[in-house]
Chain A
């Protein structure tokens, strides 16, 4: 009797895990198989490596965004903050009075620190005055873009050190671009933080029921501000990855990046009202978007049709997600 129940629970939890985490993975798998059949070069080493490069920046921004969305918040400023960080880091990187090594270390530090500082402001302002993050980060979107344009006088910064640009095009084992490994590392670190630490559990708890967490005597404000700071920090890292990949810094880059990041998070099954989601899902969500963009072009679909199909798939993935949740709830019942 006891063993039967245990076995039953084990099955249920397995199915549950499958539905929760792998569900969106199946969509990705179907897309990959379909494109591999339809476009001969899709599954080549070169193309897979390209897709890895193309999803890296969005993945990293989406990791930070997941923390914020898990709290039921949103960060619309990420694209503009990316531009601002790129100008700050770009100025440091091209400063002629600094040796290469120092310039690179300074650029990376400044980019991450600026991102975290802006993230901190977003969280702090939103929490102190109880303004929805949608409004605060919408304001920050304009502030950061304006600052980036003001500081740079609208000019693109280029002439990065060769060693920096070379690292941006480095690929390990022919298929893993350096920036993709950075993205993967952040997904893993983020997952550990969310799953294995008190901090992570608090994020989920606050997303589920903020009031009860507050009433049980925890400093809700601290955790929320931290989540925005982490989101800003990931934007700082994404900025360096962008500069590695493109070899430029520009005040007009990153327009619409917030929407891609939010799409990746949502396709990945994280609930916009908070409390439910995972970074593995976010990573799969970003992968689906990258695979779609790449695969649809390879099968020869036109620009406008590609845009339409991508939009449709975002909606479909989320509809599928609601069924998945219902099923998973049934198994849990």
Chain B
């Protein structure tokens, strides 16, 4: 009886492995270029959408084979290192990488370059000092958005709506994350431009429930708040819910990322605006920059900006 059970449980545990393995074997062998796309956490819907978009693009384009790899979590930097190393061994031509650790990923990037693989850094910049220390140029090509600019854009939009002296909160992302710092800087610029009053700036670690708790606590402390700047949309969801629970319809909320859930909120005036960032577009820009480098048409230096758009009511109509 127990043996049967053991077998049944083992079989149950192995089913997902078998299912995944089937997916992994899909591959075209006729294409000359092989591209490895290494993203951060696929638990993040931004990267999931990017993966699907990039796969669809590769299939339509048909000139290259795409291998995509995602991590288990945003901070799973070990498996990203392993992913780079395994792509080097597989002999890919191009690695497109969104580093989980700006400084820590420089060493594997160097290994790839030494092995003759072209590497494109996208989404989050590699650390300049670590690049220099590894003997790579500080201006190593980066494909990605200007987070500071995006946050300033949506912050300015909020500032215009509130007018001078408007009272605001900032909900920050993970302390230590580069994009969290850049987005906060962008918000601060907008606050300065429009003469807004910053009542509080706290982190909710990108997280909906934490943002909800933080927002209801901040509302108690500063009931006179008029606007909230959230460093991502997941936190904005929690903020909007806190305002609903408190019966406050007068507080304007802006976010960042344009995840699917905010469209309805913006159309129903629960949220003022967000920043639209297109992951697929960013990945495709990175692929093309990589192809140009391989063809010798471009140097692996500089910054290819991926566009950010203000997503307000008009954007969704």
Task: Give A residues with C-beta under 8 Å from B.
Answer: 39, 41-42, 44, 46-47, 50, 53-54, 57, 125, 128-129, 143, 145-147, 149-150, 153-156, 158-159, 165, 168-169, 171, 177, 242, 245-248, 250-253, 255, 293-294, 297-298, 300, 302-304
Task: Give B residues with C-beta under 8 Å from A.
Answer: 2, 5-6, 9, 13, 16, 42-45, 47-48, 175, 202-203, 207-209, 212-214, 216-218, 220-221, 234, 237-238, 241, 244-246, 259-261, 264
Contact (A158, B16) CB under 8 Å given A297-B202, A297-B217: no
**Residues of A contacting B260 in the complex (Cβ-Cβ under 8 angstroms):** 155-156, 158
Give A208 Cβ to nearest chain B Cβ, in Å. 28
Kindly list 16 other residue pairs between chains A and B, CB separation below 8 angstroms, not including A44-B220, A50-B217, A255-B207. Answer: A41-B221, A50-B220, A149-B42, A154-B42, A154-B43, A155-B48, A156-B237, A158-B261, A168-B245, A245-B241, A248-B237, A251-B43, A252-B43, A297-B214, A298-B217, A303-B202
On whether the beta carbons of A154 and B217 are closer than 8 Å, the reply is no
Give B187 Cβ to nearest chain A Cβ, in Å. 16
**Residues of B contacting A153 in the complex (Cβ-Cβ under 8 angstroms):** 48
**Residues of B contacting A129 in the complex (Cβ-Cβ under 8 angstroms):** 6
- Complex: A303 Cα to B213 Cα, angstroms: 13
**Residues of B contacting A255 in the complex (Cβ-Cβ under 8 angstroms):** 207
**Residues of A contacting B216 in the complex (Cβ-Cβ under 8 angstroms):** 50, 53-54
- Name 27 interchain pairs, CB-CB below 8 A, sorted by A: A39-B221, A41-B220, A46-B220, A47-B220, A53-B216, A54-B216, A54-B217, A149-B42, A150-B16, A154-B45, A154-B47, A154-B48, A156-B261, A169-B245, A171-B245, A177-B245, A242-B209, A247-B237, A250-B234, A252-B43, A253-B208, A253-B209, A293-B213, A294-B217, A297-B202, A298-B221, A303-B175
Whose C-beta in chain B lies nearest to the C-beta of A302?
Answer: B202
**Residues of B contacting A42 in the complex (Cβ-Cβ under 8 angstroms):** 220
On whether the beta carbons of B45 and A304 are closer than 8 Å, the reply is no
**Residues of B contacting A44 in the complex (Cβ-Cβ under 8 angstroms):** 220
**Residues of A contacting B13 in the complex (Cβ-Cβ under 8 angstroms):** 143
**Residues of B contacting A155 in the complex (Cβ-Cβ under 8 angstroms):** 45, 48, 260
Give A257 Cβ to nearest chain B Cβ, in Å. 9
Contact (A248, B261) CB under 8 Å given A46-B246, A303-B175, A304-B175: yes
What are the 4 closest A-B residue pairs judged by CB atoms, nearest first?
A154-B48, A158-B261, A169-B245, A47-B220
On whether the beta carbons of B238 and A246 are closer than 8 Å, the reply is yes
On whether the beta carbons of B209 and A156 are closer than 8 Å, the reply is no
**Residues of B contacting A245 in the complex (Cβ-Cβ under 8 angstroms):** 209, 212, 241, 245
- Complex: A147 Cα to B246 Cα, angstroms: 35
On whether the beta carbons of B2 and A128 are closer than 8 Å, the reply is yes
**Residues of B contacting A165 in the complex (Cβ-Cβ under 8 angstroms):** 244
Give A53 Cβ to nearest chain B Cβ, in Å. 7
- Complex: A304 Cα to B176 Cα, angstroms: 12
- Complex: A155 Cα to B234 Cα, angstroms: 12
- Complex: A275 Cα to B285 Cα, angstroms: 61
**Residues of B contacting A149 in the complex (Cβ-Cβ under 8 angstroms):** 42-43
Contact (A247, B175) CB under 8 Å given A50-B216, A303-B203: no
Whose C-beta in chain A lies nearest to the C-beta of B245?
Answer: A169
On whether the beta carbons of A297 and B221 are closer than 8 Å, the reply is yes
On whether the beta carbons of B218 and A246 are closer than 8 Å, the reply is no
- Complex: A46 Cα to B202 Cα, angstroms: 21
Give B144 Cβ to nearest chain A Cβ, in Å. 21
**Residues of A contacting B16 in the complex (Cβ-Cβ under 8 angstroms):** 146-147, 150
**Residues of A contacting B203 in the complex (Cβ-Cβ under 8 angstroms):** 303
Give B224 Cβ to nearest chain A Cβ, in Å. 12
Whose C-beta in chain B lies nearest to the C-beta of A242?
Answer: B209
Whose C-beta in chain A lies nearest to the C-beta of B242?
Answer: A50
- Complex: A294 Cα to B216 Cα, angstroms: 9
Give B18 Cβ to nearest chain A Cβ, in Å. 13
- Complex: A330 Cα to B221 Cα, angstroms: 45
- Complex: A39 Cα to B45 Cα, angstroms: 39
- Complex: A145 Cα to B16 Cα, angstroms: 13
- Complex: A217 Cα to B175 Cα, angstroms: 56
- Complex: A128 Cα to B5 Cα, angstroms: 9
**Residues of A contacting B264 in the complex (Cβ-Cβ under 8 angstroms):** 158-159
**Residues of A contacting B212 in the complex (Cβ-Cβ under 8 angstroms):** 245-246
**Residues of A contacting B45 in the complex (Cβ-Cβ under 8 angstroms):** 154-156
**Residues of A contacting B42 in the complex (Cβ-Cβ under 8 angstroms):** 149, 154
Whose C-beta in chain B lies nearest to the C-beta of A158?
Answer: B261
On whether the beta carbons of B44 and A252 are closer than 8 Å, the reply is yes
On whether the beta carbons of B213 and A54 are closer than 8 Å, the reply is yes
- Complex: A7 Cα to B188 Cα, angstroms: 68
Give B245 Cβ to nearest chain A Cβ, in Å. 4
Give B277 Cβ to nearest chain A Cβ, in Å. 16
- Complex: A168 Cα to B45 Cα, angstroms: 25
Whose C-beta in chain A lies nearest to the C-beta of B240?
Answer: A247
Whose C-beta in chain A lies nearest to the C-beta of B233?
Answer: A156
- Complex: A293 Cα to B209 Cα, angstroms: 13
- Complex: A147 Cα to B234 Cα, angstroms: 21
On whether the beta carbons of B175 and A248 are closer than 8 Å, the reply is no
For A246, give its contact among B9, B209, B217 (CB under 8 Å): B209
Give A37 Cβ to nearest chain B Cβ, in Å. 16
- Complex: A89 Cα to B245 Cα, angstroms: 22
Give A166 Cβ to nearest chain B Cβ, in Å. 9
Contact (A250, B208) CB under 8 Å given A156-B261, A303-B175: yes
**Residues of A contacting B47 in the complex (Cβ-Cβ under 8 angstroms):** 154
Among B47, B203, B241, the most chain A Cβ lie within 10 Å of the Cβ of B241
Whose C-beta in chain B lies nearest to the C-beta of A177?
Answer: B245
Give A57 Cβ to nearest chain B Cβ, in Å. 8
- Complex: A9 Cα to B217 Cα, angstroms: 46
Give A94 Cβ to nearest chain B Cβ, in Å. 12
Whose C-beta in chain B lies nearest to the C-beta of A159?
Answer: B264
Whose C-beta in chain A lies nearest to the C-beta of B74?
Answer: A252
Among B2, B13, B213, B234, the most chain A Cβ lie within 10 Å of the Cβ of B213
